Amino acid sequence: MGIDPGSRITGYGIIDMEGSRSRYVASGCIQTASDRPLPERLRTIFAGVTSVICEYQPVEAAAEQVFMHRNPDSALKLGQARGAALCAVVMAGLPVSEYAPRAIKQAVAGGGAADKNQVQRMVALLLNL
């Protein structure tokens, strides 16, 4: 299970590893209402990740490490959203691996400065989507 945390939208992807091959299982977003207080949004993220884990039964999870935003308030909210998601993973007993955004882009798209579109195209190619 891969998790892309955000205080408004938290993305997830589920793949199944068959030897060295990856097979797409599911992906989606956990959306929070931006007009709701942050604690309610964090509860929504926690409950959403918990629900995905219950449905798909992943055996491990991966998430981006926090990177610094120019806006400290945004960085704090992202960190809290990430904490809610990772807490759900750990409460389910799953091991978590954390990766720097540049390392993820390098591994998937071949370059640490790849943009979202390049990463998206490579994921689609790698998973035969």
Listed in sequence order, the DSSP H helices in 1-129 are 38-56, 72-91, 101-109, 116-126
Asked whether residue 40 is assigned to any structural domain, the reply reads yes
Determine how many CB atoms are found less than 10 A away from the CB of residue 12.
23
- Say which CATH number the domain at 38 has: 3.30.420.10
Q: Are 95 and 60 in contact (CB under 8 A)?
A: yes
51-103 pLDDT, tens per residue? 999 999 999 999 988 776 678 888 889 899 999 999 999 999 999 999 988 89
Asked whether residue 76 is assigned to any structural domain, the reply reads yes
Asked whether residue 70 is assigned to any structural domain, the reply reads yes
What's the total number of domains in the chain?
1
Confidence of residue 111 (pLDDT cuts 50, 70, 90): confident
Domain residue limits at 64 = 2-100
4-50 pLDDT, tens per residue? 999 999 999 999 998 888 999 999 999 999 999 999 999 999 999 99
Determine how many CB atoms are found less than 10 A away from the CB of residue 52.
25
**Please, what's the largest Cα pairwise distance for the chain?**
44
